Chains A and B, each alone.
Chain A
Amino acid sequence: MGAIEISTTGLVAAYLLLIIPIFISYWFNLNMIKDTFWSIARMSIQLAFVGVFLEFIFNLNNPWLNFLWFSLMVFATVLSAIGKSKIKLSTIFLPILVAFTIPTLAVLLYFNGLIIRLDYLFEARYLIALGGMLLGNVLSTNIVAINSFYQEIRSQEKFFRYRLAMGATQKEALSPFLRHSFQLSLLPALAKTATMGIVSLPGMMSGQIIGGSSPSIAIRYQIAIMIAIYVSGALSVLLSLLFSNRNCFTAYGVLKEGIFKKR
């Protein structure tokens, strides 16, 4: 049993719902009508393109094309993460690219091979859909981790230098900052995981149930994907901070001055 198809009339009915927020905006003079139209139009066009493209990729199901698409997703995630960080792109692009690719790909292949036991590990449907979920989370955790790590070292440079001065190795001097960035970036994901099913009903699970899967299958998928999300998030944060710090500190262990973007 698949999901019931939404007809064109059905879709129009969905758009009609927008009358409510538009009316609210008009009534309270919120000045959001233009933004609402713009956002909804943009979303519709983007999704229409992605829909056509994914349809094409899924039908072809070519391993090279699937991998290329996945690589583009990683690339976009890396650019987005560094764009939202305070560090210059040229300083950390390569380390972050490696730090995002290894955990996401490793967890994805583990997931496809050992959890859902696909015969074909690069199956587009799984590689791209699951990859997107993992990367979305890798993006949000790493923005927090990278920013907090380097900004805290900069704002607490006296403390960092004191540790170095007392003979700490680079790793020892960085450890309190590493610890704090880890907690800051991963605790929200853990809190979200702990309330899953009570506070938030996961989109993937709802999607599967609507798509015709039984709730028990959907729940198993959801548990596995939550674990995969957490593992890839934690591993990517670790690798991001470890790999990027090679480019961000001098051979004397001091934070380089020119790594931050100019305001």
Chain B
Amino acid sequence: MTIIEFRGIYLNFKSKNIFKNFNFKIESGEKIVVFGKSGSGKSTLLNLLLGFLQPESGDVIFNGQKITSKNIWEVRKKIAFVDQDVLIGEGEVQRIIDEYFSLSANSGKQFKPAELQQQLEKFDLDTTILTKNINQLSGGEKQRLALVIALLLKRPVIVLDEITSALDPNLKRKVISELLKNIDSTLLVITHDKEWQKARGVRVFDFKEKKWVQ
């Protein structure tokens, strides 16, 4: 079943043509890597999906329904998003995690402390970070923390924008492998990092050429 579809998208952004009759489909449960250079406009894909930008023509379709200003709020509840800057809040880490779980979109969702601990360990994080102020965390730690929050939310789609940018090569491989073996959700990764192309079980889309390469 197709979960995300970009159908006949035209978009100019900052006087640059990003999409010209762009068509792109993701089936439910697929792990997709959209590969392209920095500044090529590939994050625009996510901005269209999350309703931060609207195409000049064409449709973005989620679960068979065209995304509009009415249903975008429901669409966002089904997506867990992590971006490279990981500006996710201020203050104590545990409080930040709790705050995202207190959003009405997550009402009824809970996680056990053991589950949190397990996820943190998978991404080489210690539970002591929970009592730290987020400003004490390194860029890489923040990226992995945001990933943990995204996974704990157990949403049908996980969208990652350059999330391995602040990780060293070993940690990067570990994070990629944990992500791919850990989740049943549909995964959409936007990256310029070649490490993702080497990963098993992913379909790779070349953003510059606008075609599937793997």
- Chain A residues contacting B88 (CB-CB under 8 Å) are 159, 162
Interface positions, chain A 226-256, Cβ under 8 Å from B, are 250-254
- Contact yes or no, A156 B81, CB < 8 A: no
Cβ-Cβ contact count across A and B, 8 Å cutoff = 61
Question: CA of A164 to CA of B77 in the docked complex: distance in angstroms?
Answer: 9
At the interface with chain B, which of A78-86, A166-174, A184-192, A199-207? A166-174
- Contact yes or no, A166 B104, CB < 8 A: no
Q: B residues near A, CB below 8 A?
A: 50-52, 54, 69-70, 72-73, 76-81, 83, 85, 87-90, 100, 103-106, 153, 159
Which A-chain residue is minimally distant from B100 (CB atoms)?
A166
CB distance from A230 to the nearest CB of B (A): 27
Interface size class of A (residues with CB under 8 A): 10 to 19
CB distance from B187 to the nearest CB of A (A): 16
- Contact yes or no, B81 A162, CB < 8 A: yes
Residue pairs across A and B with Cβ atoms less than 8 A apart, 6 shown, are A159-B87, A161-B52, A162-B87, A166-B100, A167-B77, A168-B76
Q: A residues near B, CB below 8 A?
A: 156, 158-159, 161-162, 164-169, 172, 176, 250-254
Which B-chain residue is minimally distant from A167 (CB atoms)?
B105
- Contact yes or no, B76 A251, CB < 8 A: no
Q: Top 5 closest A-B pairs, CB basis?
A: A167-B105, A251-B69, A167-B77, A159-B87, A165-B81
- Contact yes or no, A166 B103, CB < 8 A: yes
CB distance from A155 to the nearest CB of B (A): 11
- Contact yes or no, A167 B85, CB < 8 A: no
- Contact yes or no, A168 B103, CB < 8 A: yes
Task: Determine which of A166, A252, A253, A254 lies in contact with B81 in the assembled complex, contact meaning CB atoms within 8 Å.
Answer: A166
- Contact yes or no, B69 A165, CB < 8 A: no
CB distance from B66 to the nearest CB of A (A): 14
Task: Determine which of B79, B85, B104, B106 lies in contact with A165 in the assembled complex, contact meaning CB atoms within 8 Å.
Answer: B79
Task: Determine which of A158, A159, A169, A250 lies in contact with B73 in the assembled complex, contact meaning CB atoms within 8 Å.
Answer: A169
Question: CA of A114 to CA of B184 in the docked complex: distance in angstroms?
Answer: 64
A164-B50 contact given A159-B87, A159-B89, A252-B72, CB 8 Å threshold: yes
Which A-chain residue is minimally distant from B155 (CB atoms)?
A167
| Residue among A167, A172, A254 with most chain B CB within 10 A | A167
- Contact yes or no, A165 B87, CB < 8 A: no
- Contact yes or no, A253 B51, CB < 8 A: yes
Which B-chain residue is minimally distant from A250 (CB atoms)?
B69
